[in-house]
Amino acid sequence: MVTTEIDQRCINTIRVLAADITRGANSGHPGAPMGLAPMANTLFLHHVRVDPKNPHWPGRDRFVLSNGHACALQYILLHFLGFKLSMDDLKKFRHVGSITPGHPERTHTEGIEVTTGPLGQGIANAVGLAIAEQSMAATFNKPNYPLFDNYTYVILGDGCMQEGVQSEACSLAGHLQLGKLIALYDDNHITIDGDTAVSFTEDVVKRFEAYGWHTQVLTDGDHDSSSMEEAVEKAKAVTDKPSLIKIQTTIGYGSKHQGEEKVHGSPLDPDDIKQLKEKFGFNPDENYVVPPEVYDRYHARADECDIMAKKWNKMLESYSQDYPKESADLKRRLEGKLPDGWENYLPRYTPKDPPTATRKLSEAVIEKVAAEVIPELIGGSADLTGSNNTRWKTATDFQAPTTKLGQYGGRYIRYGVREHAMHAIMNGIAAYQGLIPFGGTFLNFLTYGWGAARLTALSNLRVIYVMTHDSIGLGEDGPTHQPIESLALTRATPNMLTFRPADGNETSGAYMAALKRDKTPSILALTRQNLPHLAGSSLEAVEKGGYILEPLSDTNPDITLVATGSEVSIAVDGAEILRKNGVKVRIVSMPCTELFDEQPIEYRRSVLEKGIPVVAVEALSTFGWQKYSHAQVGMVTFGASGQYKEVYEYFNITPQHVANMGQDVIKYFKDYGSVPELFPQFGPCT
């Protein structure tokens, strides 16, 4: 079958413009956009429903370019359709301050749904987007009101197919029977090292069939647009399986080096671009040219989609009259607002309440807010539900109804042993709008999926990572499971909040602060072992990041002990030993250093007062605590296997050692003659 004349003109324009854009930047990946041009043109002219006039229309289809290095292609398509992306923006490709960065970034460029680039992330995000569609449809759709009925389309390449996160996510997608997820696999047999024959020879189609996907294979992705259009229609007809369409293409089609790795990651030479333009009927002496008929074709498609969006908005108006309660809830959720008075559902505690592990206190929060007041919370765990305590008692699992294991309206996802996929899928769920995902695993396994967690922060997504077994306090499982460096990493990451609550009030406060931040992910580091409830702790104090536990502190202190999580109670006990030796002590709980850094300098100075030595106590790496203290009690090696109290003793993280360190520090600085000021390192966050 053949491609129409106007389609061919559009395809060739994409190819030539991709060569110009990357050459103009003297950087980028021209080969994939040139090879993908027929596939992308078919998708956007015949299937993908997006509206440049209403880019956040909730009923739109979601498109993900998983091989984000090919983003020149996506920018070209957005430009053709009439999104806020001009030819001048294309000319500024990969320039500082442009809206056309080297890989697609959500919130940075209108029309980009998720941030991609690290291979495999996009397809995993797409699984999350498809889960979100099913969830929102099950929640809000009514007879004659298919508000949520969109497809999630994703293009991915050989590189994505080799990444483990892709395998994890696609395995789960098959299990969940996500019939509105359609993936187009650009099978061009090229990676940076050359032909995939050197490292990647598996039968991808058979693998996806084993996952439970519907599969198709097309052998002429360079010319046969009609077959691609038909294949997508066939995929749409399969409603109980996600679809993979393997399409064989030629990377850099039209270049003198087509089919070679040379066209993957470097701009084409000027002579090559000249012959490319001549081959495709363009003036070789002109750059950045889009024929009027190409604009006309894409603008006509945009007008079609605008009509669809207006029909959707009218449907929503009628829905609002027939289902006012559901409509009000939907509007609130799409705006990212939380229900009025939700904070009143958060549990509060006194020192008389029994000692409890913060993972159990987290469960108590989830039982209240997820079950009773915030219906957009959608949780899960990477096969550690009973350990992470992430499932509330009345929860229904998110499962395909045919499995009889749950419903698509369920709000608890069984991710299986797939930490990386869980993190990346949560990014897709959050990006869809209308849902707030949280997911649990052990803190040490956060870094199994760190590539995705980092993108959560970069993408400005509200995702809550419920990370239990947060220190050497997990005990017997030993150093393979005991996190040491994990929180140093999360605290060093921009736009990420790290909470390590010390008791029940701080755990509730951590959730309160995390849920209020609609453009920031949060890490909740929670204990396995029981902790006492502290005098002076409060939910509201957590939002300051660090604060003085006034009932447990002396006026005019000789030393300040700053601690987090399970070590706050150790610091409290250490302070009692110091007091028996005539030392006055201030106790500071620091559940979130990032929030503390955001406070006015006057507040920070009032907590960590000038001239008073500070000792930090945390049973993780001491790295980073030099900013807040003069000496540290913590970990400088990996942990050890044993009962947690014995492990603490072994590593000298005890009240007695804290007291000894406090006395040593006081003496040292008395002999030194002054206490170095911490303030110069306390610049406000920017």
Could you give the residue numbers annotated as active site? 419
Measure the CA angle with vertex 465, ends 459 and 471; round to 5°.
130
Nearest 10 degrees: Cα torsion 378, 382, 384, 390: -10
Q: Which residues contact 651 (CB under 8 A, 6 or more apart)?
A: 472, 619, 635, 637, 639, 640
> How buried is 554 (Cβ within 10 angstroms: 0-12 exposed, 13-18 middle, 19+ buried)?
middle
Residue 29 near residue 284, CB atoms below 8 Å? no
Contact 518, 336 (CB under 8 A): yes
Both tokens of 47, joined, read: 């299937």
Is 246:215 a contact under the CB 8 Å cutoff?
yes
Of 455, 374, 442, nearest in space to 120 by CA:
455
DSSP label at residue 358: H
Closest CA to 421 of 174, 121, 181, 133: 121
Are the CB atoms for 566 and 471 separated by under 8 Å?
yes
First to last CA, the chain: 57
Separation of alpha carbons 275 and 298, rounded Å: 26
CA distance 431 to 132: 9
Phi, psi of 12 (to 5 degrees): -65, -35
- Strands ordered across the beta sheet of 547-548: 547-548, 585-589, 559-563, 614-621, 631-635
> Are 451 and 122 a contacting pair, CB within 8 Å?
no
- One-letter-per-residue 3-state SS of 531-588: ECCCCCCCHHHHCCCCEECHHHCCCCCCEEEEECCHHHHHHHHHHHHHHHCCCCEEEE
CA distance 269 to 26: 10
Three-class DSSP category at 141: coil
| β-bridge mates for residue 465, sequence order | 439, 523
Largest CA distance in the chain: 91
Residue type, 4: T
